[in-house]
Structure 1
Amino acid sequence: MISRGKSIETIETRALLSTLWIVVMINMLKADILSLYIPGALDELMKFAGATPIPQLMLSGAILMEISTAMILLARVLTYRINRWANILVAIFTIAFIVGGGSTYPHYLFIAAVEIVCLLLIIGIAWRWPNPNTQV
């Protein structure tokens, strides 16, 4: 448990990365749920999809989101080296997904900014994560 006065450096890295992935996923869900309430959002989705059938577009989105969801568990169980690189690469991939598949609705821009900040934190933490096997 984090007590008052502890810095982010004192939190176990695996737990911190996993928690940040949880925050990203909750925000992704919030953005999607709030978008359902916007009149005309389905029409915009159909324009975005172009010739791609909506079910295939939704499957693609589900697969991309599932990769990020899997990182909640994988950040806790993967070996150090694979864990470090998986967090960095999946975070970069997720940023591209958020930016490339996003909308210009104010709520989405705000939530996407929060997601990107969390993903940049994931990248930074994983990048600076020292190998626990080489520490004295």
Structure 2
Amino acid sequence: MSDVRARLSTLWIVVMFSMLYADVLSFLNAGFLRGLMAGHAEGVPVTPLLLVGSAVMVEIPIVMVVLSLVLKPAMTRRVTLVAVPLTAAFIIGGGSAKPHYLVLAAVEMVCLAVILRQAWRMDISPAVSRPAG
């Protein structure tokens, strides 16, 4: 079981870093940076509510790194079945058509699909203890 947990946690780390680098690489684009300085990101006004919403959505993969390791298998499955679609919606909805973003988003989506598959297939039956002797 710990192998599945470690795999899930590692995949969430890949998703997390890919999301981070998609934003970091966007900052290297002068036009994008000028837009941010003017208060919008690719035509979307940057408001406090948008920033809070984005912070919550970015926090999901970060928290899942830990939760994948510490939750019981049945709870891990349930939480993952909620976290994956929310993260995918954020990646797609908050995305860009820039080539660097599309590459990173593709990696993120593949990782999310593998996470979903692993969580769905993980053994959630309670461990049966054997009598000593």
Which TM-score applies when normalising by structure 1? 0.82
Aligned to 2:5: 14
> Partner residue of 2:24?
33
- The percent of aligned pairs where both chains have the same amino acid is 42
Match of 1:117 in 2: 110
Matching residue's letter, 1:91:
V
- The residue type paired with residue 129 of structure 1 is M
Larger Rg: 1 or 2?
A: 2
Tell me the SS of whatever aligns to 1:56: helix
The normalised TM-score by structure 2 is 0.84
> Structure 1 runs of 4+ off > 2 angstroms?
53-56
Amino acid in the other structure paired with 1:21: W
Structure 2, unaligned stretches of length 5 or more?
A: none
Q: Counterparts in 2 of 1:85-100, with a 5 A limit?
A: 85-100=78-93
Q: Secondary structure at the match of 1:40?
A: helix
Superposed CA RMSD: 2.0
User: Aligned partner of 1:35: which letter?
Assistant: S
Partners of 1:41 and 1:65 lie apart in 2 by 20
Of 12, 17, 24 in structure 1, the residue corresponding to residue 15 of structure 2 is 24
What letter is aligned with 2:14?
V
Query: Which residue number corresponds to residue 45 of structure 1?
Result: 41
Alpha-carbon distance, 1:132 to partner: 4.5
Q: Give the C-alpha shift of residue 131 in structure 1.
A: 1.9
Give the equivalent residue in structure 2 for 1:104.
97
